[in-house]
Amino acid sequence: MKAYHDKKKGFAITYDDIWLLNGARTPFGRLCGTLGMVSPTDLGIYASRAALERSGVNGGDIDQVFCANIGQSSADAYFLARHIALYSGVSETVPAAMIQRICGSGFEVIIAGAEQIALGKAQTALCCGAENMSLSPTAAFGNRMGYTLGKTGFVDMLWEALNDTAAVPMGCTAENVARQFGITREEADAYACLSVGRYLAARERGFFEGEILKMNSAVFEAPGLKPRKVALPKNTRDFDADENVRPAEPAALAKLPPVFAADGVQTAGNSSGIVDGAASVAVAHGDFVRNRGLQVLTRIAASATSALDPKVMGLGPVPAIRLLLELTGLTSDDIGLIEINEAFAAQFIGCEREIGLDRTHCNVNGGAIALGHPLAATGTRLSLTLSREMNARRLRYGIAAACIGGGQGTAILFENTNTTA
């Protein structure tokens, strides 16, 4: 293990003998769709139970639990991490922690698990990100002190989440990136078509069947606790389809109006979808893996987090990826696959140009423009998707990264030791 920190470049760490076993995710439901009334806690339980099963371990094998949830959208949100742990079969004597680094939180739970294992404080960790954006509340801050006549002060917390009151709204940061790199509306729309087309091709060949669980109404039970009853919409059975995805044609995309600037490049069609969902993975030390004879997907090789001007927050993956490469001694030519969360088309293109990425190696199964961006779940989903594709293509190294609201970026380097090209 080797750690690094620099106030200008960020902080990073390499890991020895720490592995991503496997994982699972829910399908991502469109805004106010099939999962609209399922709490983020329950979404996390669905994903975590399936992740443990696919990893070949049970809840009793887990030493630490890390969960992420950004927009707290259920009455039991304070207890989300603990309830996910308990109803996934983790021992009641094992603590659970909530972690928040906005859009990087799904990565941060994996980083936390890996670091705790590296410190000898665990051999295994359950790492989950869960988000229900449909249930994001309308809030009245200060209502306990009463209201002035006609000024109830209600705000839509989902809408507020798209704003950075210290800088500019999230979509405007993408427009800033577009201006910086001379990205046109046509280029942004073309990338959106590519993302959706890649997703549809991957779905057609059955790729996502290896990570999406089938959801039905359920009752989650844990010893000595009240059962959790989860009801999906009537007649819903074996729900396993990402609902945000729709075919994208250039002519149709061209008709959509800009959302964030009158002459802007970002529209509803080339921006990430607002969705509900959860993703979970199991992480373990090599000694545990070998003693149990378990299969693994990838080794968690290193991670890095950096920060930059909030007004161009979409470029956050750039310094994080550069720091990863610097710390590990690798070059961009060594990286067989890259997943960069598609918050906005212009944001991805800006990262692509700044780093000099080969688009044929990036987001090869489509990204958030197609299937959506459930904030806390995205990093975990990207890590699982990337690890699975690295195995399918017999590639050694891959990086998953995301920009983060407020001007940050996180990236994780994964190594596939199962088979190499």
Within 10 Å of residue 408's Cβ, how many Cβ atoms? 23
Active site residue 172: no
Please tell me the number of Cα atoms within 13 Å of 161 on its side-chain side: 23
Catalytic hit among 127, 193, 351, 403: 403
Active site residue 32: no
Interaxial angle between packed helices 105-118 and 375-393, expressed in degrees from 0 to 180 and rounded to the nearest 10: 70
- Is 210 in contact with 297 (CB distance < 8 Å)? no
- Is 37 in contact with 276 (CB distance < 8 Å)? no
Helix/strand/coil percent split, the chain, to 5: 35, 25, 40
* 406 vs 310: CA distance, rounded Å: 5
For 349-414, the DSSP string reads HHHHHHHT--GGGBSTT--HHHH---HHHHHHHHHHHHHHHHHHHT-SEEEEEEEETTTEEEEEEE
* 279 vs 410: CA distance, rounded Å: 17
The neighbouring-strand residues paired with 156 are: 138
Catalytic hit among 32, 67, 103, 193: 103
Active site residues: 103, 403
